[in-house]
Structure 1
Amino acid sequence: KIIATVAALGILTTAAEATPAFAKQMNAECMSCHYQNIPKLNSFGRDFKMSGFTMTGGVPEVTGNHLSIPATFNLGFVTKTRIQNITDAAGATENTVEIYDESALLFGGKLGENAGASFEMGGGDGIALSGKMIFTKEFGFGRLGAAVYNTDALGAFAATEMFTTGLYRPVRQFENRKITNIFQKTGIGAGRATGLAAYYYGNGLFVSVAQFLPAHAQAADMSQGFNTAIRAAYTASLSGWNVTLGGFSLSGDTSAIDTTVGTIWSADNYFDRTASGVDLQVEGDIAGMSFMSTAGVVIKDTYNNKTTDDNGFHVDAQLNVLEHLGVKIAYLSYNDKLNDAKDYSTMSIGSNWSMYQNVDFAVEYSVTTMGTPAAGSKDPTALLLLAEIAF
């Protein structure tokens, strides 16, 4: 009987990739690791994450025989506030306010030369302490690592994903995720997961393989098997631009028969999911202004005993016209293969302003066109205002 147990630590990926504790460990400003605005990572930020959060910036450490940890126990807090105005196809309007949403008390960092962690207090589903642990070592041919992870919302790729294409829920260009990012719309880059991952990172190549259960638990019985998430991406520098091309797959047909503490997705029944796709990320400067564009394509996505079958794509871009002020645009096309009435496309525009490196504001506006609109219906719209802080 195969039992995969993520024991009393209840390991869950943090709610946001912008973790102030890491800036304190590095003794560096937030934008040393981030690109344009939090929480998007630059190349150094990706290196830091793949190191298992073990890099330090000359801060005092307690050292000894088989011991090397920062002398200061660093904490951080991240939260968001959102205001939304949504108009549906019938013209009905809904206004919502979400105050201190996705709030998290975060801590973690270097555990030793080859081990690090990121934890969160209060991860939901009855689990008090959550996070992920990474064990990694650098070799001449690149870095090898392994992670144990658990998440209530961030998806199968949460252990090691570091790009901005949306395969990892917290790190994407637009906040209104389900109408701007195809991986978020389909749920491929979100949801519960408990499992183990192994990865290689070096020479521009990133490859990870995870075996997981679509559940959020401190302990889970995987005797019925587990799902597999495979991720590969290659980054090249072309005329001063970082260009990343990647792909992924999800496969498996599992049955969670027990969770000691936590929640399984019995209602959503994602245990038999099969999905694949590709993504692209481009980052660089245009006339001295930072620019990032991402694209994602879902080629195949079936689950619920094939009662759900969909695909689609998204393209987005952000240009920072000033160092701390960006404008952005996105287009998403979604196709439900089993129900044409659910097909739609959405055009979105927005802006991000970083009041400070750790205080970010955004405004986004989206217009959706249904594939087969009902007679007399209107195009749904969505206006979103966001404030995000990390300290």
Structure 2
Amino acid sequence: MPLHGQQPRGDLFFDGENLLHMVASAVVRLSQQSGPQDPVYDSTVQNTYNQLVLLCLRKGQTPPGSVPAMVRWATERPIGEWPWVLPNDFDGGAAFLVDALTRTPTQQCWEWRVAARDVAAEQVENQLMGEAIAQCRAAKAPESYTAFRRLLIRQPVLTDAERAGLADDLDLELLHDVIKRCYEPAPASYLRKGVYTVCARCGCLLVPIGQDRYVCELDRCRRDQHAKVGRTVPARQGGGMYQLNRAMRMFITGPGLAETDLETALIDRGLRPEMWPNFDAYDLRITLPQGQVWAVDVKDRANPALLGRGALPLRPDPPYDKGFLVAPQYRFDEREDYGRVYAHHRRDDLAGVVDLISDVDLLARVDRELARRRPAKKTATTGVAADA
């Protein structure tokens, strides 16, 4: 077994992480296929299946009998129980590539799909998000980019009437064409008795399961196992329902909710954070009462090892005194080793530069800074400062 970080021998290239990337890519590709094709499976999917079969035979294991059987493996077998060899901290226990309830690729699957330093950048920001940034930068309109980001976070689902109404929003006027391409018609799989149901937590469409159950696709909402039903929209009444594409819901809306939750918590503390400064150099810029500036980048990633591998220093403009990489607390609650796995896979030269903390920890540090700078109270009788 090759040590982690070494290049595998040629005969083992289609093993471990390489094959996992291929399977994840094949699963996502199949999920995006709208109907039968000729040939039935494209070369990427077929080659992935072939290599999985060869690996199973080489290791004396029974391979899946078909491409659909490979997808069933992705639904029923945790990543760590496939025949490939992975570092011990890569699978995170019961991590699957396909969600057994919704029959769609999980966030783990999307993260494994691309061997890139930043999944969100590779899947989204280099395309529609990059185009939005370029247009707003050229027009010197940071307010348009901020409004665009808030739209994707607050309204991942739009009725036809709501989408048409965006034309009246002057801040979004610059990006109308990009916005139209961000949203796609919601498929009938989200309908129950002709009605769409929206998650009250994140605003995404809920997936109907069986006769009376719903589940949300976002990890942050799925963890309590009970969907919180928000508004309902009859398909005919809405004149058509649109939702952000899956990558944007996962890598923009999901982390964006954590970003705006932090924004709200900071405002409640009397601060005024700047959101996505300098066209998304990082996510929040916090100016503390005595002038110290903190930069915060928020990531909501299922796999801490991949997060560590992709970690880079925060961009220096606009300048700041301290930088933080922040993940939602629920990720640390779900994986006790989340922070340690991240640190193990982060580049050694980034220790102390891109350390990972939770959003709860960040707010605790803000509270300590505010308390340190708060004027000491004096006692009524002596005028001597009371102990903190």
TM-score range, shorter chain: under 0.3
The TM-score normalised by the length of structure 2 is: 0.26
Higher helix share: 2
Structure with more relative contact order (C-alpha pairs < 8 Å, separation 6 or more): 1
Instruction: Name which one, 1 or 2, has greater alpha-carbon Rg.
Output: 2
The TM-score normalised by the length of structure 1 is: 0.26
Higher strand share: 1
